[in-house]
Structure 1
Amino acid sequence: MLLLEDNPGDARLVQVALAEHAPGAFGVTWVERLADALARIATDRFDVVLSDLGLPDSTGLATAQAIAVGAPALALVVLTGSHDQDLGREAIQHGAQDYLVKGEASGPVIARTLRYAIERKRLEIGLRTANEVLERRVAERTAELETAFMSTVAVARTLGEMRDPYTAGHQRRVAEIAVAIGAELRFGARRKEGLRVAGYLHDVGKITIPSEILAKPGKLSATEFQLIQGHAQASYDVLKDVEFPWPVAQAALQHHERGDGSGYPQGLKGEAILIEARVMAVADVVEAMSSHRPYRAGLGIDKALAEIERGRGTLYDPNVADACLKLFRDKSYVIPA
């Protein structure tokens, strides 16, 4: 690990914390200037950079951007002050994998964040490489392309679940529930496959949210909740340029919209919401309420279905709600493990 920090005291605190809570896991090389860091990156091998954003020869986002450009394959975690958390979030938009707040992150949190950043970077590179391979082969190997495409989707799903380990499997289960509801609505095989892909990827935008917020056991602040809500738009931004044969990006964008206009991010109503997103909304609520979360135990399928029944025709599409209730109550459907 390359530690870029111009304050010797802060650098020492990080080194001691890692030595105590992750002994032998990270060999730390410490430098104080951006120029020195870029020189070491060019000659030595590192898995991750932990960097302060305020340095003698660089400040703010320019520091994160310089590292991201100079070492695009290297994981980056930035250090911010408690009053600079917005800057940390912006750094994520410019290539960092995560941020830590000085003086607030414990040794275990620092070690976990660094490990997750390394794995996320590896997955991002793997996903990008897989997409490049797929593009070269698309014209001549359609059947093989579809298999590889679903593998790429699985990589993206895994990337999102690494950011939010407490909901691992959520996207897969939402996809399966959505497909089952689609079958009740008599969707064709191709459309159901689109629901499956949309379900796998609907929360991929959570890769932009710091892992400490995703896994926070207590109540979120207004700012943190607003950041969580941003994952729908972030999912759309990730997916919008991929040429899916289904409206996957729009379904991801709209899966938190509600029939009465009370949802987000656009406040759409009724038929203005894609049918795929209306199906995804019901599947997402059922899975989320039934499963455990960092801040509460699972509420169970009965309460989840009661919520769908309560919101039928207002929050949730009545046909989709009826299909869901029939699926579970009349046909004894069980959420996949």
Structure 2
Amino acid sequence: MSDEYLNFYLYRITVHPSGQLDLFGRIADIDRRDLLRMAIESEPASSPTEEYRWFLSKASAVDKDGYYQRLGRAAKVVITDMDSAGRFYDREDTTVLNTHVFIDVHFQVCAIGYKSQITSSVRALGNSLAAAFNHTDVAKLYGAEFEVAPLKEPGSFLNKLRSAYRVTNLSVTTRRPNPWDAPKFYRSVAESLEDMGGREAEIKWKGEMVPSATMETAVSEAAATGRDAQATIKDGPKSKAVRHAMSDEHISLGQRIDNAIENGRTILGIARMVYQNVKSGGASLKQVKAAAEQEHIIVKVGRGNDER
């Protein structure tokens, strides 16, 4: 295997009913983590579009809950060639590009190696993986829909809220249920949303001061599922109230790949730590970075190329 250095962006995979029933029951009867594992272990899938065909390779086990796959993109291109008489002509050909994917089924977290030749944005890379999963036999049989959203780093936004004189409004978005480790209130809202056939809802808190425990939990949960959060804060008793939003600061792991299975164990170990840190409000990011450096992995936070 070739030796290459990649930034692996971290994502949360969620599984939802697509609205179709299978022959044996509803998707609600099956643990979503089991559906994810089944989809990973199923026959390789491809997702055709007008321009590209996204496909997944056969999976290899990395550890008890971890898997390694390759996500590829096949695209038709027109190449100008020359015949034996020296005349130019165009012919159609297919180019195939691929990257590494490491998936943890327990936390439903994955790391995808970013290559600009494959896709132009971090979010689009996750959508491509979701498209491939949505064309597996498992998705069709159980009426399941996979979504892959980039994790967000909540620390900067939460620090603004923690240091504010007053937080009078807070809103977060939530989507259909899936994360087994979501707080009870969020699970109930998401389950109601699913029962009504909705896809996304906004939860709002208003008052003289939003409780700190509510802020910590709401923002961390939104970041852990790639959702949005906004708050209205005042920095002093006479200050004007200002609206702030949690930024799209994505998290990546810089790692050199020379042995996918061995590298995958290390990458998934750090990815699990990062995820648990996001769930706890991002307070231990420095410790996570230090632990990652011991494994020769660089944890970065930022928007695309603007990373720190």
TM-score above 0.5: no
What's the TM-score bracket when you normalise by the shorter of the two chains? under 0.3
For normalisation by structure 1, the TM-score amounts to: 0.26
For normalisation by structure 2, the TM-score amounts to: 0.28
Larger strand percent: 2
